[in-house]
Amino acid sequence: MDSAVSELCRRLDSRIKTHVVFVNAAKVVQYRDNFALRDVIERAGMLLADGMPLVWLSRLKGTPLPERVAGVDLMDRMVKAAAERGYRVYFLGARHEVVSKAVADFVKRYPLLQVAGYRDGYFLPQQEKEINAEINCSKADLVLIAMSTPQKELWADRNMEKLHAIIYQGVGGGFDVVAGLAKRAPLWMQRTGLEWSYRLFQEPGRMWKRYLFSNLSFLRLALHDLATASRNVQEPAAHASSD
């Protein structure tokens, strides 16, 4: 987390445009099936693991990731950094009453925060040009995008070259958390990879199908990947032994 914040601040200071994409188990499954999202992920300037299953899998494969970096946590850290370093932040997404409440909460917590602007995420494709002009006029440095996957990734990838802002970070339902409409799981559940079950308990009607199919699909992909890696290690060893 500290490294991500430091690197993003460096890129803001150096004016290096960056699309920050978070990857979890569900997005790994979508990466396989959604070719448009796959292209966006491969073009992203920074990829972060927002899911303990990815961290665990990286350790099993011998290429350990340092830690999970949750999108909502990085959002809070970057807003704090923006307030301290004078970056201008634009908040895009969620319902109007949600994003406005989230902005008010951030300003209360960080009085020096420069809010470049904000608007809800309910707009038509033909309104993107107008929204881009608004963001450019706001002189935003950092754009936080509270949309679902893959809408937020596709929006950022499609529009960032038309915009003057530097960092584009998807935050999913992050504004709902800041506005107090959704609760984060206890820290022990976050660290043990059980945050998905907490969200399922909060929104069973909306989340059960997503978690059932995405988690099972991810598990199947992970086991196949580990089995393939194991075979690749064993085969050279067998050849060396026979030689």
Return the closest-CA partner of residue 78 out of 52, 48, 56, 54. 48
Neighbours of 78 (CB within 10 A): 23
Give me the pLDDT at residue 223, please: 85
The answer to whether residue 222 sits within a structural domain is no
The answer to whether residue 203 sits within a structural domain is no
Element (H, E) at 88: strand 88-93
Give me the pLDDT at residue 243, please: 53
User: What CATH number is associated with residue 120?
Assistant: 3.40.50
DSSP structure class, residue 203: S
Angle between helices 195-202 and 204-242 (to 10 degrees): 160
Give me the pLDDT at residue 15, please: 98
The answer to whether residue 207 sits within a structural domain is no
Give me the pLDDT at residue 209, please: 60
The answer to whether residue 127 sits within a structural domain is yes
Q: Give the integer Cα–Cα distance in Å for 173 and 202.
A: 13
- Domains held by the chain: number: 1
Q: Give the integer Cα–Cα distance in Å for 117 and 96.
A: 12
Give me the pLDDT at residue 208, please: 52
Residue in this structure with the two tokens 């201008």, named with its chain if needed: 88
Which portions of the chain are predicted below pLDDT 50?
none
The answer to whether residue 23 sits within a structural domain is yes
Sequence-distant (≥ 6) Cβ neighbours of residue 80 within 8 angstroms:
110
Is the pTM here over 0.95, yes or no? Answer: no
Q: Give the integer Cα–Cα distance in Å for 21 and 235.
A: 35
113, 61 in Cβ contact below 8 A? no
Q: Tokens representing 1?
A: 């987390």
The answer to whether residue 217 sits within a structural domain is no
20, 167 in Cβ contact below 8 A? yes
In this predicted model, what pLDDT tens digit does every residue of 116-140 receive, in sequence order? 999 999 999 999 999 999 999 999 9
Element (H, E) at 167: strand 167-170
The answer to whether residue 81 sits within a structural domain is yes
For residue 126, give its domain range: 2-185
In this predicted model, what pLDDT tens digit does every residue of 165-182 receive, in sequence order? 999 999 999 999 999 988
Residue type, 4: A
The answer to whether residue 239 sits within a structural domain is no
